[in-house]
Amino acid sequence: MTESSAETTETPATAEAPASAETSANGGPRAAAAPDLARETAALAALFEEAGVPASLAPRAAARLGAGAAARLRDDPWRLLRVPGVRPRQADHFARQVLGDAARPDDPRRGRTLVVALLAEAAVRGHTVTPLQDVLTALEKERVADPRRAVEDALDEGEVLGLTEEPEFDEESFDEDADLPEPEESLGLARWALTEEAAAEGFQRLTATAGPLLDDAAVKELRAGLPEDRSLAFTAALRTGVTLWRGTANDLTATAAALVTAAASAGVRAALVTPTDRAAADIAAAHPDLPEGAAVGLHRLLDPADEPGTAPGSVLYRRGDQRPFELDLLVLPDASGLDVELCAVLVGACPDGAHLVLGGEPGAAPPAAPGRVMEDLEASETVPVVELEPAGPGGPLDELTAAVRGGDLPQVAAPNKEVVIVPAMGEEEAVHRAVQLVTDSIPRVLDIPAGEVQVVALAPAGEAAAGALNVALKAKLNPGPGRFGGFDVGDRVVVAAPLPQAAVGETGTVEGAGPEGLSIAFAGGTAVVPPSSAARLRHGWALPPALARGARRDAVVAVVAGSALSRPTVATAFGLARRHLSIVQAAGPGLARAVRETGAPDRRTRLARLVLG
């Protein structure tokens, strides 16, 4: 592997960088030697048994805390808070069992770790920074005697950064007699703060170094005969370093394919980049004029390195500033799910002078990981934003999705059963209806095979969540005991956490299993996932929206249940269907209310300010 092979990493599965990570030359995480997980798990299980902690936590703690986890927990039991899902009261109980009377609320180790845990919890909600005062208030509620000292201790450890932002200055409302506003103090995990700064620097660099990819005459020829909005989209992409497009999924993809095809014909090295290999294959099949290999998944384009010793939950990429892409133009028609960390990796691998186009549907669900790249770039007003008008009237699916994005849930005429509503009296019945649709109704009535039907579960937990639906679907479509880490040959799986073999959200089918791992047929080819990484896979017949958004399907069964519904999530789920959408409706009036009233929660980020400089 070359020196640049460890330049950047993809988003690890947890909300903070691995505790055992070293630092690479460019400041990004670099994996230390892989721990003997079996040995660490056994040592942790013994410690947890002594402390009355469920042994089921041991594998997760071993994967998260790395080598020497048990010894470090004996020395500092509050480090258990670094394991996702562990709450402060649980860590306090564990500390009392390990330290006895020495476990006190004012212990500096407790305060320091609570600061990190609070920021990690905020990151799960999409925030990259948190106001200092919010952290101090939360520490007071957790009975930390000296919250400011706890923050200082966390800063000294290096995992947390203190950030000071000057307040925005409004010349029109400025009062020279009034007191000047105080600078805004906030805290952020170093991982997210540094990657947000790297992303901003990358966007600034691309904007500053970009020149026209073609001369005026060539640009005029490429856009000849195009509608005004498409002409503007072509012109901005070919003349500006960073451009945003807004429009429907169909319009964004079609415009991206047309631009890449036209640019390549003029000698520009161009690529249409997608979230998954499956999406790239679908686009290549739908647009045969695209040059061979021009549609490519981002994960594959970044050239992941399958190297031993990589930190759990991380992926090393060979592409970076030392080995940038050999491309002049990159167009991502579906960039709404791009979180700030993967964005920093992407822009870091773009060479000086390259042009980057990011497309997204208005009101799309935010990324699963922290950040809001598209919205922050648009808010910065430093890049052109082109609105793509619908190319045609669209069908019932387009009509419904557009209405949902606008806050409405109308009945749409669907003469060819493009949209079907299936009422369900509760979550148990919703599961039954979904299985029936996948295994019988949709293949029989619409001639869409079950393999082209994707169930999307809008409930994050409960009887109609993705896990429960997968159990029911597996029992019907591929029954088996789960002999190989919970999977059987023939199971549909999805990558739920970063793997070198495939991107998050990539689906595939288990073709074989053995001591070396699971052999899985992905859209980009067959790959072997070793047993140590099998925990990053989930059954893939039913997916939450965050994992389903990587590729559209001919038919989608959206199972609507629970109370955690929002307009962006519903619109994302409905918009995944190309030909048919069945809505299994078990949420009653809650669905229309969520579409009407519940947008995406606000996220605290710095990218817009950082891009401005």
Give the pair of three-digit tokens for residue 222: 């490429």
- The per-residue pLDDT for range 291-341, each reduced to its tens digit, is 999 999 999 999 998 776 566 667 899 999 999 999 999 999 999 999 999
At residue 176, the pLDDT reads 65
The H or E element spanning position 347 is helix 340-349
What's the CA gap between 187 and 158, in Å, rounded?
12
- The per-residue pLDDT for range 590-599, each reduced to its tens digit, is 999 999 999 9
Query: Is residue 607 within 8 Å of 376, Cβ to Cβ?
Result: yes
Least confident range of 22-26, 104-108, 231-235, 325-329: 22-26
Smallest CA-to-CA distance from 255 within 282, 279, 226 is with 226
Query: Is residue 326 within 8 Å of 301, Cβ to Cβ?
Result: no
- The per-residue pLDDT for range 332-374, each reduced to its tens digit, is 999 999 999 999 999 999 999 999 999 999 989 999 999 999 9
Assess whether pLDDT exceeds 60 at residue 403.
Answer: yes
Task: Report which DSSP code applies to 540.
Answer: -
Assess whether pLDDT exceeds 60 at residue 575.
Answer: yes
- The per-residue pLDDT for range 187-232, each reduced to its tens digit, is 999 999 999 999 999 999 999 999 999 999 999 999 999 999 999 9
What's the CA gap between 153 and 78, in Å, rounded?
14
The H or E element spanning position 429 is helix 427-436
At residue 281, the pLDDT reads 97
What's the CA gap between 74 and 375, in Å, rounded?
44
Crossing angle, helix 567-574 and helix 590-597, to 10 degrees?
Answer: 110
Q: What is the pTM of this model?
A: 0.89
- The per-residue pLDDT for range 450-468, each reduced to its tens digit, is 999 999 999 999 999 999 9
At residue 37, the pLDDT reads 67
What's the CA gap between 42 and 239, in Å, rounded?
59
At residue 213, the pLDDT reads 98
At residue 389, the pLDDT reads 95
Query: Is residue 520 within 8 Å of 527, Cβ to Cβ?
Result: yes
Strand blocks (E) in 311-447: 316-317, 329-332, 355-360, 385-387, 419-423
Other Cβ atoms within 10 Å of 50 Cβ, number = 11
**Mean pLDDT, range 93-105, rounded to an integer:** 92
**Mean pLDDT, range 229-258, rounded to an integer:** 97
What's the CA gap between 401 and 476, in Å, rounded?
30
At residue 197, the pLDDT reads 97
Assess whether pLDDT exceeds 50 at residue 134.
Answer: yes
